[in-house]
Amino acid sequence: MSSTRPLALVTGASSGIGLEVPRQLAERGYDLVINAEDETRLHQAAREIRAAGAAVVETVTADLRVPQQTEALFVTATTPGRPLDVVVLNAGVGHGGAFRENDLADELEIIDLNVRSTVQLAKYVVRDMAARDEGRILVTSSIASTMPGSFQAVYNASKSFLQSFTQALQNELEDTGITLTSFMPGPTETDFFHRADMDDTRIGQQDKDDPAQVARQALDALFAGKEKTVTGSARTKAQGLAGKVLPDKLKGEAHRKMAEPGSGDQ
């Protein structure tokens, strides 16, 4: 990796928003280190990112639910001696359904990937950037972070954690050259809801935002130095505004109507 272009690391980069972000970073002049668990899809993503203009795209297949693989990703991304100018902590998973009925393993998988791996990787990245007093970190939160997640209880809670975590680090690092930005997409046209077993829900069946638009707005916010932003369509942004004033009980009930299994058939 001898290129003199700036370098970015993106996790969860095989599809959806996670693919659009590195593709657009390539268009903005960045080389990439991209990570995902699915090796086949990751290599396909790398081809698309190279086509967008990246001179260098290194792939690291790793399951970030496993602490040793999270550490190995960081070591691989930084070993060549090039500093990470941008890090996008995007890897995440969701699972729908009633908490009392879901398998415990599925719920813990959400915590391991969305929360634990993000904290672990952030620890390495923040220390590295602090030593240089520069760098940008983008964290994928969600509009779900603003509301109780009926039938997505652990997922919404994990995104609330990320939102609080990012804001705390922003305060701790306000006197440094490190920029942290969180972005909160709404329902987006990816395979998220299918993988979360939510095809039969209203939210799974509704029209969704364009991942390219979401990625562009997130990166614009990052490079503008904003602390957080709601990304996507006007409808999603309106939902973000409503979330600031509606009582949690009402937001929880609204979420239930969208996420309850079978609600898409009603």
Query: What are the per-10-residue average pLDDT scores of the chain (266 residues)?
Result: 84 96 96 96 96 92 98 92 94 96 97 98 98 97 96 97 98 97 96 92 94 98 97 93 91 93 87
| pLDDT on residue 84 | 97
**Overall number of domains in the chain:** 1
pLDDT digits (tens, 9 = 90+) for 50-99: 999 888 999 999 999 999 999 999 999 997 788 999 999 999 999 999 99
Active site residues: 155
Taking the model in full, what pTM does it have? 0.95
In a domain, 18, yes or no: yes
At 243 the pLDDT is 87
Find out whether 183 and 228 touch, Cβ atoms under 8 Å: yes
**Domain of residue 89, CATH code:** 3.40.50.720
By residue range, what is the domain housing residue 135?
A: 7-265
- For residue 172, what pLDDT is reported? 98
Q: Does residue 161 lie within any of the structural domains?
A: yes
- The whole-number pLDDT of residue 4 equals 82
Residue 155 and residue 149 in contact, taking contact as beta carbons nearer than 8 Å: yes
Report pLDDT for 235.
Answer: 93
Gap between the Cα atoms of 41 and 133, Å rounded: 35
Inter-helix orientation angle 67-78/117-132, to 10° = 30
- 1 assigned to some structural domain: no
Please classify residue 175 by burial: count the beta carbons closer than 10 Å to its beta carbon, then call 0-12 exposed, 13-18 middle and 19+ buried: exposed
155 is a domain residue:
yes
Q: Is 2 domain-assigned?
A: no
